[in-house]
Amino acid sequence: MPLSKHDREQFLAEPHVAALSVAAGPERGPLTVPIWYQYSPGGELWFHTPVGSRKARLIDAAGRVSLMVDVADERICYVSVEGPVVRTEPGTDEVVREMSARYLPAERVASYVEFALAEHGEQVVYVVRPERWLSADLTS
């Protein structure tokens, strides 16, 4: 059964690891990778990735992405959203810190941010406007 608008937005707002997909050209399937993201109900979603990475180049070329999150434990549920990239922003230290704090225990954030900035280099933030939604709660 599809989730209501409220329920799908609440589910997407939870800190799930998402599968991000972006077109990879006519002779290839889409690039699909796990990613951390941020979303507030009714708003845009965003994520960051290294400047110049394959993922960033494909997103720049395609101009849109799909993102899917799911759970399969006592509840079997998923939400998929697709939409255009509406803007990009610099991936500042604070952006990396905010995202890390969403997914990691507080005591691990500082060391992870230090690692991420050193290992992943300059970041770019992609902001996506959700246009098309698919969802289901298979336990209802």
Question: Which pLDDT value is given to residue 140?
Answer: 61
Above 80 in pLDDT, residue 68?
yes
Residue 83 CA to residue 44 CA, distance in Å, equals 10
Helix (H, G, I), strand (E, B) or coil at 5: helix
Instruction: Say what angle helices 106-120 and 93-103 make with each other, to 10 degrees.
Output: 130
Q: What is the largest CA-CA distance in the chain?
A: 45
- The residues with which 133 forms a beta bridge, in sequence order, are 81
What's the mean per-residue pLDDT of the chain?
95
**Residue 12: Cβ within 10 Å count:** 24
Question: Which pLDDT value is given to residue 75?
Answer: 83
